[in-house]
Amino acid sequence: MIELKAIKKSFQTKNGTINAVNGVDLAIKSGEIYGVVGYSGAGKSTLIRMFNGLETPTTGTVSVDGQVISSLKGGALRKARQNIGMVFQHFNLLWSRTVIENIMFPLEIAQFPKALRLKKAKELIQLVGLEGRENAYPAQLSGGQKQRVGIARALANDPSLLLCDEATSALDPQTTDEVLDLLLDINKRLNLTIVLITHEMHVIRKICDQVAVMEDGKIVEQGNVLDIFTKP
């Protein structure tokens, strides 16, 4: 269960204060695929970055499974983050490392022994369908394959929450559908909670259970995807 309470986030710029997120309350149930949709500049990216402490709210609290992420710092925050995977639009892979090395990287940081890292990475390679590409470098992969590596890496520490920041926005429509099918499969198999942000309604319709529509730092509509899209 994830709860955001009375979240505001302002940035000071030379042109004054920007309220990127301006009073958001959200409750996300375990196992749900929850989508936040909105135009560019709505505050989606700032919002999702508060789920794992990449941004700290100016006011309000974020809690994940009862733990208040927004007040953690240093080692405690790093530890909590191991329970929260993240997937990015531009993959953020390590270009000088192979597929399997990229997937093992978070396990290296968490100081797992090498044999365990290899075992886990091989399981993840199967889960995301990259068998045979273990020793390729990211530059040799298609966009969809790169994102499969990104997803596998995000799952390395067995997180209970996966955050997707425009995870399919750099992919063509067919590859987008393949990656969304993979996310749906992982959600079901691992009972993993997924929170995603997107500017594409198609993504919401295809895989989300719940949706929040964001505009100008606020949630203007929220509910079950079927209800929201069948309203007159």
**Nearer Cβ to ligand ADP, position 41 or 223?**
41
User: Is residue 230 a contact point for ligand ADP (CB under 6 A)?
Assistant: no
The candidate with the shortest Cα–Cα distance to 223, out of 63, 36, 50, 47, is 36
- Eight-state DSSP code of residue 170: T
Produce one character per residue of 73-99: b if its CB has 16 or more CB atoms within 10 Å, e if not: eeeebeebbebbbbbbbebebeeeebb
Cα separation, 65 vs 38, in Å, equals 26
**Nearer Cβ to ligand ADP, position 117 or 217?**
217
User: Is residue 16 a contact point for ligand ADP (CB under 6 A)?
Assistant: no
Residue identified by tokens 């100016």 is 58
**Candidate list 33, 37, 42, 228; residue touching ligand ADP; CB under 6 A:** 42
**Candidate list 40, 111, 174, 230; residue touching ligand ADP; CB under 6 A:** 40
Kindly tell me the sign of the dihedral angle through the C-alpha atoms of 91, 79, 105, 121: negative
The candidate with the shortest Cα–Cα distance to 47, out of 2, 91, 9, 17, is 9
User: Is residue 29 a contact point for ligand ADP (CB under 6 A)?
Assistant: no
What does the per-residue mask of binding to ligand ADP show for 135-154, with x meaning CB under 6 A?
----x---------------
Residue 211: CB minimum distance to ligand ADP, A: 14
Cα separation, 231 vs 49, in Å, equals 30
User: Is residue 46 a contact point for ligand ADP (CB under 6 A)?
Assistant: yes
Produce one character per residue of 143-169: b if its CB has 16 or more CB atoms within 10 Å, e if not: bbbbbbbbbbbbbbbebbbbbbbbbbe
Q: Which stretch binds ligand ADP (CB under 6 A): 12-20, 69-77, 97-105, 222-230?
A: 12-20
Q: Which stretch binds ligand ADP (CB under 6 A): 37-45, 68-76, 104-112, 188-196?
A: 37-45
Residue 170 near residue 198, CB atoms below 8 Å: no
**Candidate list 6, 11, 109, 126; residue touching ligand ADP; CB under 6 A:** 11
Enumerate residues 156-185 that contact ligand ADP by CB under 6 A. Answer: 170
Q: Which stretch binds ligand ADP (CB under 6 A): 74-82, 88-96, 115-123, 181-189?
A: 88-96
User: Is residue 99 a contact point for ligand ADP (CB under 6 A)?
Assistant: no
**Nearer Cβ to ligand ADP, position 180 or 213?**
213
Cα separation, 187 vs 164, in Å, equals 13
Cα separation, 159 vs 34, in Å, equals 16
Return residues touching ligand ADP (CB under 6 A). Answer: 11, 13, 18, 20, 38, 40-46, 90-91, 95, 139, 170
